[in-house]
Every structure is written in C-alpha cells, then in structure tokens.
Amino acid sequence: MATQKLSSLLSVSATSASLRSLGRHFSWGRGINRFSTSVAIEEPITPPVQIDHTQLLINGQFVDAASGKTFPTLDPRTGEVIAHVSEGDTEDVNRAVSAARKAFDEGPWPKMTPYERSRILFRFADLLEKHNDEVAALETWDNGKPYEQAANVEIPMVTRLFRYYAGWADKIHGLTVPADGPYHVQTLHEPIGVAGQIVPWNFPLLMYAWKVGPALACGNTIVLKTAEQTPLSAMYVSKLFLEAGLPPGVLNLISGFGPTAGAAICSHMDVDKLAFTGSTNTGKIVLELASKSNLKPVTLELGGKSPIIVCEDADIDLAVENAHSALFFNQGQCCCAGSRTFVHERVYDEFVEKAKARALKRVVGDPFKKGVEQGPQIDGVQFKKILSYIRSGIESGATLESGGDSVGSKGYYIQPTVFSNVQDDMLIAKDEIFGPVQSILKFQTLDEVIRRANASRYGLAAGVFTKNINTANTLTRALKAGTIWINCYIVFDAAIPFGGYKMSGHGREKGIYSLSNYLQVKAVVTPLENPAWL
Ligand code: NAI
Ligand code: MG
C-alpha cells in the first residue's frame, strides 16, 4: 500500500489525491503558511488531546512506581512540563518481569490458539485506528514532530504494522527435515519467553510497534521501557491493548530512565530476549549487561551515518528533494538519515544551489500548525549538541550554505542547515548529528565514492541516484548497508526488513525477518518403526 510509505509523503511526486486515499484529508501545503526560518516561533498551539494515562502498566493494572516517584515529560516547543509520569525502577521491573514470566509460563497467552492471538492483535489495530488522531497529538506534543506527519503517516503505519503481524500469528510453521537414517525429524518454532524491549524517543510508537508486534504474534510476553523523553503515546495505547482483550501480564509497560529501569531489564535473569533501539554507545552497554547476566540474545538497531550517492546521470531535482527529506525528515532525528550526501563533481554546483534553495524553503514552526515540515528538536541536550556540531562544521572550514542557528527564543527549534565542501575527516562527516544538518561532499569516480561511503563505522542505509542500471547494480552490491534505496529514500513498509551492518546493529526488524528474533527452534527426532517406509 503505497500510502503507508513515508516516501509517498515526502517525495515531490506525492499528490494530495494519493494522500487522501489514506482516508484523511491531507494537504502538504507547499507554498502556504510558509515563513522563513528566521521568523520567530509564535505562541504554542493548544494540543487537541488530554493526558489521561501517566502510570506504569504491570500485570494488567495501571500502577504508581513502587517508590512513588514521578518525573516530568517536557514539551519540546517550550521546554515546559506536559505531565508527570511514574518513574519505574528496579523494583517495578522485577514486578513486571514476574508478571510477564507468569503470563508466559502459566498464563493463557502462549497457550491460546494462534488464531485467538491474531484476533486480539487485529482488535487492537482497529482501536488504534479509531483513536489515531489523539495518539498522533500525544506523539507531537511529547516529541515535537509535525502533527500531519504523525496523524497521516506514522500512526497509520503503526496500525498497519500490527495488522501485518496479526496476520503472521497463525502462520508460524516449523519444518519437516529429511535426515539420514530411520527417523522422523521436525522442527517446532516456539516463543522464546519474556522479551525485554527498550525504545527511543525519535519514533516512540513506531519503535514500540516494531518490537511489540512480532513478539506478541510469536506468543511471547513483554516488559517494554519507553524513552524518558516520550512516555505518553505508549501509555495511551497500552490501555487499548487491555480493551482489545490482551490478558494481564502479557504486555507490561515501564516508563523511566535508562541507567535504572533500562539496565534492570537488560540484567534481569528472567528476561529471555532483548531488543533495543538507540545510540551505539548505549547498545554496547545493553549487550554487556546481557552477557553479564544470562546471555540473553540481543537485537540492536543503532546509529548511522548513511551515504547518499548522486551520480552525474541522476535526475537532479529528484535527488535534491529526496536527499533533503532523507536528512531533514523528523527534524533530522532518524537513525537512517542520509547524512553524507556525495555528489558527482559535474553536477555538484547545480545540486548545492538547489539543495540550499530547498532548505531555505523548509517550513519550520509549531508542529501542530498545518503545513509545518519541521518542529523543534527533542530536548535541550540534543539542541545544544546539534548547535555545537554546526559550530564545528564552520570552524573546520565547510561552507555554510543555509541556516546555522537556532530559531526563536523558546523551545528547541533549529534552522535547516546545509554545509557544502564537506571533507571526510570533518566531525560533521563522521559523527551522527541527529539534527537538521545536511553535509554535501564532492566525488569524481565510482570506485572512489564506494571506498569513501564505506569508510564509516556505521552501515545502516544508503541512497543511490542514477539512471544507469549497471551503476545502480554495482553500488547495490558494493555498499555495506542494511538498506539500499535506489532513486528514493526512507521508503518504509511493514514487510521490508530493517537493520544495520557494522556498528549500526545486530539483526533485522520488520517483515518476516523479525519473527526469528522471537522464536526458538526445537528439533524433534522420533525413530521410525518401519524403516522400509523411509
Ligand atoms: P540512548 O541510546 O541513550 O536512549 C535510547 C533508549 O535507551 C532510551 O529508552 C534510554 O532510556 C535507554 N537507555 C539509556 N541508557 C541505558 C542503559 N544504561 N541501559 C538500558 N537502557 C538505556 O539515546 P539518547 O541519549 O536518547 O540519544 C543520544 C544519541 O543517540 C542521539 O543523539 C542519537 O545520535 C542516538 N539515537 C539513535 C536512535 C536511533 O534510532 N538509532 C534513537 C535515539 C538516539
Ligand atoms: Mg517529551
């Protein structure tokens, strides 16, 4: 379904008719409500939603943290408190894990028929669809992403993903194995047990879906920790899970901090599997905690510094628009952001001019306002970090083509920033900035750009713009990355696997590939009584 793909929203060819086919009247609004990025941000718009859920979910009950503590979640538009939510810690994680353990070992979930599990997941997806706009508003309020993006693309993608995995729940098959000798051999694909899942703040509910969907479809139970910056949407939808008939203890939700609640999940001896999305540094800690406890298997989806290669024969307008959204989408806070744009020397000047013009037109503003393409960064920490990378780009001699500063006096808004003449050894070309900072580099030959594109500790994604099938095929095979987008970027779908090479992570999420993260394979061998029928 094309409309579920982010690129359909982002690409220049997207029409409002195709977006309306989502069932929502979406207008990207190019040319309307547009203001220069230097214009101050107005008073924040009141979000169209109330906050009703701020507690932990343990064993089917919404409860306060054992310590009684709470912590504030902030509005990135102002830095002000939206709500105080329960601060889970080790004792809450222990309770949640024992509820999940009981629900797995004794409870109905793994024992239900796959069809019954599938029906609960479908019912949840229906409820989520019904509450799409409230959930999207919570996501925007807590994270700062444009409401139109959340309501028209992201939350519908979450619903789609749950339907995709609901469809898998009753299609998980083992094999019959043709072994040598008089034996009947089969494999059973069984759920692993209690899954510990830790998600980041950049796509709070989408990352929840990538993890919860396959884990539940395979019959596991869950303890999930949200990111401390964005706890609200998961709290809201977890109530919908109870309404959909999910038995108590199957999905437990902890809000809290990484070094306390997060580490308690990773170290727990009764957690059988871990899935983590976040920074590479925290990924290393997660892996270490898993190895120091019970050697639980770990799926990691980490950072990136993904290259985009614009060849001399590329459709330049297509490349400019895609490279723009590849970097600036979600305020630049994407693990797969196209953050090193290599452009062939023959089309370099034209590309830089057009990339700059596009960035200058980017609509920055209150994410609840129609037509806004870019809201604030998530918090003050990221805001300062991004501004310091911008300073480092200027100091290291890259050419600042646009932006370079914050916007307004409140909140965490940053101008869409474009650097040209970026060199491989500059910090802005090496580190994951996770902000609206595009780096454009020049190349001459294919061999050279392959070597430079691969000279990174990351390997999450890559983009290629060319009209030549042989160039596309060469780059597809030569680039060391988990996803290669040819003449497009950020095309996501529930069925397309996602994950990284090198320090971008271990394993794949989404599609059929995610099922194996949540299944054990048991070989069953039975002697055949009458070998004559072998
Ligand atoms: P982070 O990796 O520390 O946080 C992600 C999740 O891990 C959160 O839920 C956090 O509470 C949890 N966590 C933190 N420390 C933990 C620990 N010791 N044990 C268990 N869980 C722990 O990322 P952070 O600090 O929010 O952002 C820093 C940088 O990470 C960003 O600037 C960006 O470069 C990168 N990042 C990458 C993401 C991706 O999608 N790959 C998402 C978020 C951040
Ligand atoms: Mg927040």
Q: Whose CA is nearest to atom 43 of ligand 1?
A: 278
Which residue is catalytic, options 87, 134, 154, 301? 301
- pLDDT exceeds cutoff 80 at 1: no
pLDDT of residue 530: 80
What digits encode the pLDDT tens for the residues 409-423? 999 999 999 999 999
166 with 210, same domain: the answer is yes
Query: Does residue 255 share a domain with residue 362?
Result: no
At 175 the three-state DSSP class reads coil
Residues 385 and 472 grouped into a single domain = yes
Residue 449 has pLDDT above 60, yes or no: yes
Does the beta carbon of 304 sit less than 6 angstroms from any atom of ligand 1? no
Residues of the domain holding 357: 307-493
Predicted structure pTM score: 0.93
Residue located nearest, by CA, to atom 42 of ligand 1: 278
Task: Give the model's pLDDT for residue 41.
Answer: 64
Kindly write down the DSSP assignment for every residue of 359-385, as one continuous string. Answer: HHH--BS-TTSTT--B---S-HHHHHH
Same domain membership, residue 260 and residue 117: yes
Asked if residues 333 and 18 have their Cβ atoms less than 8 Å apart, the reply is no
Domain finish residue from 269, 302, 335: 302
Look-up of token digits 């953050």: 339
Residue 320's SS3 state is: helix
Among 5-19, 280-294, 385-399, name the one with the lowest average pLDDT: 5-19
* Nearest protein CA to atom 14 of ligand 1, as residue: 258
**Residue 532: how many CB atoms within 10 A of its CB?**
7
Q: Which atom of ligand 1 is nearest to the CA of 285?
A: 18
- Measured from the Cβ of residue 245, the count of other Cβ atoms closer than 10 Å reads 11
Answer whether residue 376 is part of any domain. yes
- 212 and 163 assigned to the same domain: yes
Domain count, the chain: 2
CA angle in degrees (0–180, nearest 5) for 261-264-267: 155
Establish if 229 belongs to a structural domain: yes
Based on its alpha-carbon atoms, the radius of gyration of the chain, rounded to whole angstroms, reads: 24
For the chain, the distance separating the N- and C-terminal CA atoms, rounded to the nearest angstrom, is 46
**Residue written as token pair 């992201």:** 154
Looking up residue 480, the CATH number of its domain turns out to be 3.40.309.10
**Predicted pLDDT of residue 534:** 61
Contact between 224 and 253 (Cβ < 8 Å): yes
Of 277, 282, 298, 331, which is best to mutate to test ligand 1, by the most ligand atoms within 8 angstroms of its C-beta?
Answer: 282
Q: Residues 325, 374: one domain?
A: yes
**Whether 188 and 263 share a structural domain:** yes
Q: How far apart are CA 291 and CA 210, in angstroms?
A: 24
Q: What CATH number is given to the structural domain containing 135?
A: 3.40.605.10
The overall average pLDDT reported for the chain is 92
User: Do 393 and 447 share a domain, yes or no?
Assistant: yes
Q: Is 301 a catalytic residue?
A: yes
Contact 205, 136 (CB under 8 A): no
Q: How high is the pLDDT of residue 34? A: 33
334 CA: nearest ligand 1 atom: 40
Give helix 232-243 / helix 204-217 axis angle, nearest 10°: 30
- Examine the domain organization and report whether 337 and 276 are in the same domain: no
Residue with tokens 């394993």: 507
Please tell me whether residues 370 and 282 are part of one structural domain. no
Residue 465 domain flag: yes
Q: State yes or no: pLDDT of 279 exceeds 90.
A: yes
267 within a domain of the structure (yes/no): yes
Task: Indicate if 133 and 217 belong to the same structural domain.
Answer: yes
Share of the chain above pLDDT 70, in %: 92
Residue nearest to atom 19 of ligand 1 (CA): 263
Q: Does a structural domain hold residue 409?
A: yes
Nearest Cα neighbor of 314 from 436, 178, 157, 475 is 475
Computed from CA positions of residues 164, 169, 170, 172, in that sequence, does the dihedral angle turn out positive or negative?
Answer: positive
Alpha carbons 421 and 399: distance in angstroms, whole number: 6
pLDDT score of 533: 65
The length of the chain is: 534
Q: Which of 302, 330, 346 is the last residue of a domain?
A: 302
18: confidence class by pLDDT, cuts 50, 70, 90: very low
Asked whether 262 lines ligand 1 (CB < 6 A), one says yes
Residues with CB under 5 A from ligand 2 (ion): 73-74, 142, 229
**Contact (Cβ atoms closer than 8 angstroms) between residue 158 and residue 205:** yes
Are the CB atoms for 436 and 374 separated by under 8 Å?
A: yes
Q: Single out the residue in 253, 279, 302 at which a domain terminates.
A: 302
CB 149 within 8 A of CB 157: no
In angstroms, rounded to a whole number, what is the distance separating the alpha carbons of residues 106 and 108?
A: 7
Interval 475-513: pLDDT, tens: 999 999 999 999 999 999 999 999 999 999 999 999 999
